[in-house]
Structure 1
Amino acid sequence: MIGRLKAHAVRTAEVSSGDVQGRGGGRGTASAARGAPPPAAESVPVEALQTSGGPRTGGEDAEHVQLLAALHTQLPPIVVHRPTMRVIDGAHRLRAALLRGDDHIMVRYFDGAEGDAFVLAVQLNSEHGLPLSLSDRKAAAVRIVASHPQWSDRRIAEVVGLAANTVGAVRQRSTAQNEQPNASIGRDGRVRPRNGAEGRLRAGELMRANPEASLREIARLAGISAATASDVRARLNRGEPLVTPQQRQAVARESPPGAMARRSFRPDGPASDVLLVSLSKDPSLRLTMAGKILLRALRVCSVDADGWARIVEAVPPHRQEVVARLARECATAWQCLADRLSERTGESSTEAG
């Protein structure tokens, strides 16, 4: 047992020395400073340090503390968050020093943000020493989702030692879910839309509103790649759903009960989208004032179910009756237009016969 603890002390020294400089960038806080010279250790009074707020919700293991205190070798420096003087890594070593009666302990400081300090604490405790329990890792995931909402599920999963789908479930249950950004930063540092379906739908709306816009511009505005924008345009022209079956399934899993009823992925094919694109390319409409007015009105009405839900929520209670009245008048006007066009179509058929 003593031999294993000595080996653990060596591993702790190596990990702590190489990782204290991390600031939360790159692929993770701890790995940001691989190869960088470690900060100098300082002797700090043990009474100046705090152990609250760490990733171990149950506190330190008393037996492990006693075994560390029994070692006759000097323990590696602990890692401390300088702004708060909280122990990031080395709570067991601090307890062992107190048990020995030491009044000072060697410390290496971390000067980053408090949220990054917690991430570093989770990483260091995962890489050496006593492993975190499953409940501790899930609790850590909740905290990191709240403090680093821009991080992808995979990136957080790598830090806490959980599966990415488990972190995704934690994110969905988080009280900060509504504050989660639409894009996330992955383990490679690249920014990607968190919900690929939303980006595709947004791109479809942009293409309907401005059929002549370039794929590069659509991709930039929708927050998707140019390749995805190209696929959306191809699907739109073929009359296929803009969202892939896998994405629809993912959204169904992530959405709260009843949310899918407000979404419109048009599983049978967005025929109206294709017709609108075709009309927009017709010079007899696109190059005349009356045609431009018609196309503009049709684009305004080309809103999916989720868009209409957002519009309904945006109407203040004291204006609901007025908006409802005007909406009915607009519906009547559109019906009159449809009837008159149908009459003209019938007349044209009769003359042709």
Structure 2
Amino acid sequence: MTCPVSYDESAGLWRVRDPELVRRVFADPERFSPANALTAHTRLGVRALRILSAAGFALPAVLANQTGPRHRSVRRVVARFFTPDRVDALEPVVRRLNAARWAAVRARLARGEEVDLVASVADDVPALVLLDLLAPDDVDVPELKRWSRDFLELFWGVPTPEEQERLARCAARYYTWLRQRASAARRSPGADLFGALVRHGLADDEVCSVAYFLLVAGHETTSMLISSALRLLSADPGTRAAVAADATRADQVVDTLQARESSVPTWRRVTREETVLGGTRLPAGAPLLLRITDTSDTGELAFGWGAHRCLGARLARMETRVAVQDAAAAMPEVEPVEPDPPMIDLLSFRAPERVRVRLRQDIRHGRGALPRTRPSTTQEPAA
């Protein structure tokens, strides 16, 4: 029997696998602090630290790495951008963005090309939606994607000292942009995230701390979840057919992904004091790695639990559900090129780097026809 709490010497972390214990940790931030949530997993070298220091890089405890009354007050400010009404109003936007990308994918497939569904569909739609929701209008999506991937690699990967320097330079550019946005918002607070945080009384470095993680996690983890969904669907014609016939089945697919292949399979906490968890005595300052997927059939922990449950959970589920519905309708006749694609595999983030597909062999050889795309049953009418 696997021990529910055990020390992983190679990672330098206590692994917590039992879902009830994970829920208990999330529910008690006073004993199990989120202070290490944004701490680099691999100790950064002197050169990387100098690059970050020159940019004034700092992530003070405000939202993801904070608890208590101040955390709750800032969380309420950010939550206003993710209300059910605002998220639901974005579904037609998501469908229009997806429709354009699937039309391009099908045209390429019809020409006999192989297509990477991550680059063609999953990568940029969540970023475009997030920018629309939070309203920063002076950064393009390719740049935001570069910042995001390098940030995740720097803080949750195991980069070499040389790689750390490259990643730190990218992180410094991202942070410089954030400081410029915070300064602009202080001069003239607008209706976007930066203006809301400034009006709430946060200092510039605190605004940057909130925005630094939110503008990455708010789209990158969703892109990763959609990438996993497209990998599943490309290899499973039965599931594609079931969702195409009944679009409500997409929610079951999303549940399965959250439970077994979430883009965020683990998350971190640290003990504030000596404590006992699952019969194991932990010292004060013990870093914990909580397993939040592969723990149930429902995936209820995939977005966290308690005071730090992901504010964008509803948005991520909606975007992934729509992606599953649209993919099932748009590609009934494909097959995967790589059954086991290369993976993004970081401490707390996991997804396929690419999902390459092509038309089935019988269609490529002229023994079938490329069907016309059928919209999902919940497709929004064109405006």
What is the TM-score with the length of structure 1 in the denominator? 0.21
Q: Say which structure is richer in helix.
A: 1
Of the two structures, which has the highest relative contact order with CA contacts closer than 8 Å and spacing of 6 or more? 2
Q: Which of the two has higher C-alpha Rg?
A: 1
